[in-house]
Amino acid sequence: MSEAGVMGVKAGTRRDAELLTEGWTRRFVGAPPRLQETIALYESLGYEVHLEPVPPEALQDECQGCRLAVTLFRVVYTRPVGMRD
C-alpha cells in the first residue's frame, strides 16, 4: 500500500511493519457497524482477523482534525488461519 494510505490514514507505521512481518495483510480502514460484518466474512473464508486502532501519527496532514477516525475507525488485518508467528 502506498504512503498515501486509505481514507486519510497512512500505511507504513512501525506497528504496520511489525504486523506484516507476522504474516498479517493490511486490508482496509473501517468503522462500525460494518466492521463486525467484515470480521464475520473474513472468518468464514478461513482468515484470522486482527484490528488495530488508527494511531494519531498515521493521519495525513489534511486529516488532523478528523479525531473521530482515531476513536471509531480500525485498521483491519487478516492472515490465513494457522499462520501463527
Interval 16-60: pLDDT, tens? 889 999 999 999 888 888 999 999 999 999 999 999 988 777 676
CA distance 16 to 64: 19
How confident is the model at residue 10, as a pLDDT?
59
Beta strands in the chain (DSSP E): 25-30, 47-53, 74-80
The residue among 48 and 11 whose pLDDT is bigger is: 48
How confident is the model at residue 12, as a pLDDT?
74
Joined together, the cell numbers standing for residue 4 give 498515501
pTM of the model: 0.76
How confident is the model at residue 2, as a pLDDT?
42
Residues 56, 61, 63, 65, CA torsion sign: positive
- Three-point CA angle 49, 36, 82, nearest 5°: 20
* pLDDT tier, 3 (very low <50, low <70, confident <90, very high otherwise): very low
